[in-house]
Amino acid sequence: LPQVGVSHVVLAVSYMSEALEAAMREQEQRVGPGGPGHWAHPPPCGVTHGRAAGPLALARDLLAEDGEPFFVLNSDVICEFPFAALARFHQQHGGEGSLVVTRVEEPAKYGVVVSEADTGRICRFVEKPRVFVSNKINAGLYIFSPGILQRIQVGAGVLELGWAGGPGPPPQPCALSPQLRPTSIEKEIFPAMAQEGQLYAMELQSFWMDIGQPKDFLTGMCMYLQWLRAQHPEKLHSGAGVVGNVLVDPTAKIGANCVIGPNVTIGAGVVVEDGVRIKRCTVLEGARIRSHSWLESCIVGWSCSVGQWVRMENVTVLGEDVIVNDELYLNGANVLPHKSIAESVPEPRIIM
């Protein structure tokens, strides 16, 4: 981000906002002086996701302060973020907004973007087309000129943003109301911009995945690991028992006679005991997988404990601090945090 001139990051936060802010502070420390600082604020009343325009309105004073374009990102996508290329594209066409598009195999499942082949100017949006008009969809990455903020209705009042460090003094409170009318960027603002010839599309040339659902998260993880294999193979784990693309934190411990991979990520402080088989899984920080267990297509949450001779598969998801007793079978179980599982789950279900 600093390489493309980004000095601050604004987060629209709600659920687990403290964890998000803590993660941002860790990133600031890792980047060091000169990296972007960040602000965090709750979304306006009635706004529950980043595709709404409310968070942009609440951050109007911050975004418009220097008159420069700003990036907007949906938080549930993973890709090789083309910040520099997108900034150049936006500057070249001179319109009010630019969005990144990606090609999909089944466009009828999505709202598609129809644009001019030579310029990228967006002509229209078509929701779940019955006949083929385009196979390009909105990838959830944008760059806007400050003029877009004039398109979002605001009221009177003050909402203060929390300052979390970074270069420059703390910002002044935003003179905006948290009682904004919920406004959809995709359904209201983008069509108007396209009609006025102010919105352009740049096609993404690398991998992309919406990771908002567990099964899609695992697919996105596989794509990311393959990208690492091509771009930074030295970051991947190798050695006895490692199959394919595997990413292991240096503080994790893996026992004897394990087979790990393909497509596995193992977080900090994880302990994998002897004889464990893991493939197509994410194991998060502090988890423990006890001996001779078998995991495929699973997400194991922070500080979980999976017992001996356990089999888990079919997009089983364990929330934080879940205990799975020995010799159980979990098939597509979605387990909420801080639960103890004492019997098998042979069919997919949510355990609350």
pLDDT digits (tens, 9 = 90+) for 140-153: 999 999 999 988 87
d(CA 9, CA 252): 31
Structural domains in the chain, CATH included, are: 2-210 (3.90.550.10), 214-351 (2.160.10.10)
The tokens describing 128, both together, are 């779940």
Do 146 and 63 touch, CB atoms closer than 8 A? yes
Exposed, middle or buried by CB within 10 Å (0-12, 13-18, 19+), for 42?
A: middle
Rg of the chain over Cα atoms, rounded to whole angstroms, equals 23
Rounded Cα distance, 143 and 329, in Å: 47
What pLDDT score does 270 carry? 99
**Encoded tokens for 269:** 């402080």
**pTM of the predicted model as reported, rounded to 2 decimal places:** 0.84
Tokens of 200: 């352009």
Q: Which two tokens stand for residue 236?
A: 């991947």
Q: Can you tell me whether residue 36 is helix, strand or coil?
A: coil
State which amino acid sits at residue 297: S
> Looking at residue 182, what is its pLDDT?
67
Among the listed residues 315, 317, 322, 316, the one whose alpha carbon sits nearest the alpha carbon of residue 337: 322
Instruction: Show the DSSP H helices in 32-59 as ranges.
Output: 54-58
How many whole angstroms separate alpha carbon 59 and alpha carbon 198? 22
Sorted by sequence, the CB contacts under 8 Å of residue 305 that are 6+ apart come out as 287, 288, 290, 322, 323, 324
Q: How far apart are CA 325 and CA 304, in angstroms?
A: 11
Q: How far apart are CA 270 and CA 254, in angstroms?
A: 8
Residues in the chain with pLDDT values less than 50: 44-50, 155-178
In the chain, DSSP finds a helix count (H) and a strand count (E) of 6, 27
Q: What is the DSSP letter of 236?
A: S
112 closest CA partner among 127, 92, 91: 127
The predicted pLDDT at position 46 comes to 39
Alpha carbons 111 and 260: distance in angstroms, whole number: 38
Query: Which residues are CB-contacts of 279 (< 8 A; sequence separation ≥ 6)?
Result: 243, 259, 260, 261, 262, 263, 264, 295, 296, 297
Asked if residues 99 and 201 have their Cβ atoms less than 8 Å apart, the reply is yes
Other C-beta atoms closer than 10 Å to the C-beta of 348 total 13
The residues that are catalytic are 128
